[in-house]
Chains A and B, each alone.
Chain A
Amino acid sequence: MAAAPELLPYKQIREDLFRPLSGVSRRYVLATCLAFIVGAAGLAAWVYQLRRGMGVTGLQRPVFWGFYIVDFVFWIGISHAGTLISAILRLTDAAWRKPVTRAAEAITVFALMIGAMFPVIHLGRAWLFYWLLPYPNSRLLWPNFRSPLLWDLTAIVTYLTGSVIYLYLPLIPDMAQLAEHNTPWRRKLYRALALGWTGSDREWHALERAMKLMACIILAVAISVHTVVAWDFAMSIAPMWHSTIFGPYFVTGAIFSGIAALLVALTALRKVLHLESYLKWHHFNNLAKLLLLMSLLWLYFTLAENLTVWYGNEPREMAVFGARTRAQYAPYFWTMVALNFVIPFVLLGIRRLRTIATATIAAVCVLAGMWLERFVIVVPTLANPRLAAASRGYAPTWVEIAITAATFAAMAMLYMIFSKLFPIIAVWEFKPHPEEDED
């Protein structure tokens, strides 16, 4: 096996991993500007939508949920990258996780921030979104906790809070290191974030315990979040939404797309920040195997979901099933199957084909496929309501496409800014035990 990063001298590790924080290359500025422009265009589209009304979208009766809800589920799904990977690996003490966890945890926080915007973007009167919050008010109005949307709000706010803490805790020792030598404003920032960390035994023990505890909590919260997102659909009586399998199906899909997002991010980081000696083949190999496993699990759920509907042959469900697999939404459905199963299975299942490059290609396919999966779940059901006379199709407008594109740009921008401010690989985790410390 190639030399693990643990075997490099700690001094070099520190230098390697702190280097990306200083200095800004031309390509970085260009990429950030590009992301900013795409993001600003999406923001402009949203302002246009706020001023004119939801009519500027492609939504219409009976398809009241479209691109925005698809994006919402997609991004909340991506957010499962961090927690699941990092929490499971932390709890099982997997040694190879060290260079991977922070990159994953950062994805969680940013994907959640983006995903949580969509329910607001999607509101007919977005400026009144706070009416969903249980805040004290003079009219003694209270939100309706019987509504799955309220469960959703509660779950997402909990998850966002938890994952910010979960990202922050292992940052603290690095912050203290960074506060030692740096430019004045950075020193101020890092010192504030280090919370007076001195590196005493007591502090290390407290940190260790806090991280273990948060890993347990965040696991439970992550699973509940995507289950509740699934219940937004499953609690309604619409054909092919009202399904008991949706909770675990969505959680599986979320972890699946989360791992794919992590793989893509790691490939990019490895290339751009020259982390070849930290992110090694075995990291990618392990993640690729995990992706393959999730792909098979996803296939199993998809089969279980669709086969039972087809065999049951209930007319209203069959209308949706037909629209998905044979009629106007069939191209989306079969592309989804190809992207989520066929391509990853071939590229990752055959050992000779499994390389960093093919794992990345498979991951990009899975990301696209999982976006399509949410589209195939959301739209055909609504387009085929129980009263057939009310059926109608859906096509997005430029406003929805611009806002969707903007969120991808926002993700890239947030990630780039994060990797400039904080070491994307936790440096202190490579610190040798005091006894064997060479300096």
Chain B
Amino acid sequence: MEHRWGMAIDLDRCTGCEACVVACHAENNLPVSSPEQAGKGRTDHWIRIDRYYEGEFPDVKVKYMPVLCQHCDDAPCEPVCPVYATYHNGEGLNVQVYNRCVGTFYCANNCPYTVRYFNWFAPEWPEPLHLQHNPDVSVRVAGVMEKCTFCIHRIKRSKQDAARDGRALADGDVQPACVQSCPAEAMVFGDLNDPQSKVSRAAGSGRATRLLEELGTKPKVFYLQKVK
């Protein structure tokens, strides 16, 4: 495996501003749900901010946790798909093939992180957002499952650029939209195969934990927080 892409999110830095959510929407052509559909829980956010409250009012502390596809090495969503629409690619990414998906919902049921999103209707954008689609990302049709790709199109672009310039891919060359837009610089993305990369060092820090690690899914997103 040439690369093994991973992410680290510093929860002590995260302010819950949701800039990553907006950036992901713009980058990945995520449809905009109507208020009515959003009220039913049919929003489409490949990254979302979960809120956890500690204490009783007025002494409340809110903890924010950005949750996206954890790109598990042993992903529970993969074996259950009857048509191989979701599989593991050569760089450890958990990939969703929209054109192959028939919509059994099984992957979403078996995802312990609930990070898979379904196209309940044909995608819609209020004007003029329909004019700003990212040409590097396909628009999904109704009836298929989708989820965070770690901005795979950006990974490909960076690799092409590096190959054109005749250099190796350097740490920090690839930045998914969420990482790029985080004002608190709480997110780091990179190659876990490179022990010197920022993400590898973050993953090795004493503050690093992984979400629902006990399920044996081997997620590749590391959450950093001070352990009290």
A125 close to chain B: CB less than 8 A: yes
Question: How far is A385 from B109 in the complex, measured between Cα atoms in Å?
Answer: 9
Q: Is the CB of B51 within 8 A of A389?
A: yes
Is A53 among interface residues, defined by CB-CB distance under 8 A?
Answer: yes
Neighbouring B residues of A389 by C-beta, 8 Å = 50-52, 65, 67
Cβ–Cβ < 8 Å partners of A55 in chain B: 37, 42, 120-121
With CB as the reference atom, state the residue of chain A lying closest to B211: A387
Give the segment of A230-238, A264-272, A431-439 that binds chain B: A230-238
A53–B84 CB distance below 8 A = no
Whether A125 lies near B50 (C-beta < 8 A) is no
Mostly, the B contact residues are loop
Tell me, in angstroms, the Cα distance from A342 to B120 when the chains sit together: 41
Task: Please give the number of chain B residues whose Cβ is less than 8 angstroms from any Cβ of chain A in the complex.
Answer: 44
The answer to whether A124 touches B52, judged by C-beta atoms less than 8 angstroms apart, is: no
Q: Are A53 and B102 in contact (CB under 8 A)?
A: no
Given A124-B119, A235-B80, A60 contacting B102 (CB threshold 8 A): no
Whether the pair B122, A53 counts as a contact (CB closer than 8 A) is yes
Q: Is B103 a contact of A125 with CB atoms below 8 Å?
A: yes
In the complex, what distance in Å separates the CA atom of A122 from the CA atom of B212? Answer: 29
Q: A124-B119, A387-B113, A390-B114 are in contact. Are A62 and B108 (CB under 8 A)?
A: yes
Are B110 and A123 in contact, CB atoms less than 8 angstroms apart? Answer: no
State the CA gap A426–B101 with chains docked (Å).
46
Does the CB pair A52–B67 fall under 8 Å?
Answer: no
Are B105 and A387 closer than 8 Å at their CB atoms?
Answer: no
| B172 contacts A by Cβ under 8 Å | no
Q: Is the CB of A385 within 8 A of B121?
A: no
**How far, in angstroms, from A142 to B101 measured CA to CA in the complex?**
13
- What is the total number of residues of chain A having a CB less than 8 Å from a CB of chain B? 41
- In chain A, positions 100-148 with a C-beta closer than 8 Å to chain B are 119, 122-125, 128-129, 131-132, 141-144, 146-148
Contact between A128 and B121 (Cβ–Cβ < 8 Å)?
Answer: no
Distance A382 CA – B118 CA, assembled complex (angstroms): 15
- Rounded to whole angstroms, the CA-CA distance of A386 and B100 in the bound complex is 28
A144 to B79, CA, bound (A): 8
Q: Mark B35-72, 1 if CB is under 8 A from A, else 0.
A: 00100111000000011100000000000010100000
The segment out of B88-96, B137-145, B197-205, B218-226 that lies at the interface is: B137-145
Instruction: Select from chain B the residue with minimum beta-carbon distance to A57.
Output: B120
With contacts A53-B119, A132-B82, A144-B84 known, what are 12 further pairs, Cβ within 8 A?
A: A59-B105, A61-B114, A123-B143, A124-B102, A124-B105, A147-B79, A237-B112, A386-B114, A387-B67, A387-B113, A389-B65, A392-B41
